[in-house]
Chain A
């Protein structure tokens, strides 16, 4: 049985006014000063290394934690490191109302669960979703559940391609099944 859901503690990327930070770009996620790094294991320490207020993220994050961000997350460059740094930290999933196209693809192709939820902005402003809450996200049922406060919210289910890539591990593993014609 594949894992169809993940459970973890959330980090809500919000500003001083409590709103989700929008348009977080890949230089804020993984600065171009470190693009020469090709080892995934060396990338985790630089996650959010250029995002004001979150530069110590890599020290605070634990495996299976979930990142909650504002719309157009991952704007800017095509760098895979902006996804790989979260894989290095064993982040369980990323949730945002929307992503840059390239960032979303990169996460899908690397098998990092990345999901869209249009309700996040509202939930965060109302302080329903807060940093530290334990949540559960179902990849196929299109549902999120705040386990601390016991309420659910809508999450866009993974597409067939995203699910298959995630299920196989990454695009490379998926491609091997694909080329066998299954």
Chain B
């Protein structure tokens, strides 16, 4: 009997029996913590393991991306506490200048295909985009991982999702992802791994893969893989994998791998989509919401903060202005993305449209200093969550970069073809 991708990755990191429902102890290639969760990891560690060394400092990292640089004294204190812990234990810190931790780990070649990577970020499974088993965990789990280099994990069942048909621009990976949220909801792949197949999946760029993989969390799934074209897409990264050793190859599922079920989703001719408040699964075609007035826009996040995403928005914004009274906040995912925007002139196009351009990080997703909405404010965002109260008291709609850009030009929800 063959194995699915998640089974192969866990098996390569465990001595235990690996089959769905079994609990396996698994070695972790990379363990990380960020500025939320990180201070508690350090605190747990010093309380439980005072005087004891980390399992391997070279495999342990801090990534600061949520409140970067700190905008309150509490966060400044917390980040400084992490820096102190890191210095003491010889741990590298990707500090507030670097950007979103998952993306940085990928760009640095640390999150390799077929690896296991954990951190205090519930979107850690975004690393499925490069064939890595990323998993978000709480501060108890991560402190334990810092010390032991391993964790327990219940091997999930795998669901095969077959995408039928193709879509064309202006429809993007985000529209596909939102449509899948509508179709799969929070039940169909809940607590399972998913493998996506079909020409539309195979043809996704790295940025598109990151978009889909990141929102597996909103579908309540464990992780999503897009096996076809995975290694090729990863080569889109500048000097990918060169910094930290040889590039590994992603696993593919065996013939005869056992799936819990196969789901077919018809995406032929899919138009742009928007998720209305207050759930990422409350998805409708843009045409159903066209005309809804907005006050602000946000382009960025782990879901849509790559160069390709911001260039997509710039194509709409170039030579146009963000409508008076609307604020558009743009946050590149990482410093490397920022650099590429600068060198290719995209940043200037965004700036001239009237957008506010922030330093790299998570920006508008958590209630950090870029992300707040006031009571009555309507925001359209490329983020991944629009739960009530998540980004303040306003209402958040989720969409792709082109839809957000077009909406900010017109002052109401609109598709890229409306401008």
Contacts from A to B (Cβ < 8 Å) = 22-23, 25, 27-28, 31-33, 35-36, 38, 50, 52, 71-72, 75-80, 83, 98, 100-102, 105-106, 109-110, 159-161, 170-172, 175, 179
Contacts and interface: CB of A to CB of B under 8 A. Distances in A.
A24 to B, nearest CB: 10
Contacts of A78: 37, 120-122, 124, 136-138
Size category of the B interface is: 35 or more
28 contacts: A23-B186, A23-B279, A28-B387, A31-B389, A32-B36, A35-B366, A36-B74, A52-B388, A71-B187, A72-B187, A76-B122, A77-B136, A78-B121, A78-B138, A83-B138, A98-B191, A101-B222, A102-B137, A105-B137, A106-B138, A109-B140, A110-B138, A160-B23, A161-B152, A171-B144, A172-B48, A175-B147, A179-B148
B211 to A, nearest CB: 18
Contacts, number: 105
B148 A175 contact: yes
Contact of B367 (A32, A83, A161, A171): A32
Nearest to A80: B138
A27 B390 contact: yes
Most interface-central of B78, B135, B137 (chain A CB within 10 A) = B137
Contacts of B217: 76
A27 B389 contact: yes
B315 to A, nearest CB: 32
Interface of B: 23, 36-37, 39-40, 43-44, 48, 72, 74-75, 78, 120-122, 124, 135-141, 143-144, 147-148, 152, 154, 186-187, 190-191, 217-218, 220, 222, 279, 366-367, 385, 387-390
Given A50-B389, A159-B23, A171-B144, A38 B40 contact: yes
Contacts of B222: 101
A25, A33, A80, A110 — most chain B CB neighbours (10 Å): A80
Given A50-B389, A98-B190, A100-B220, A109 B138 contact: yes
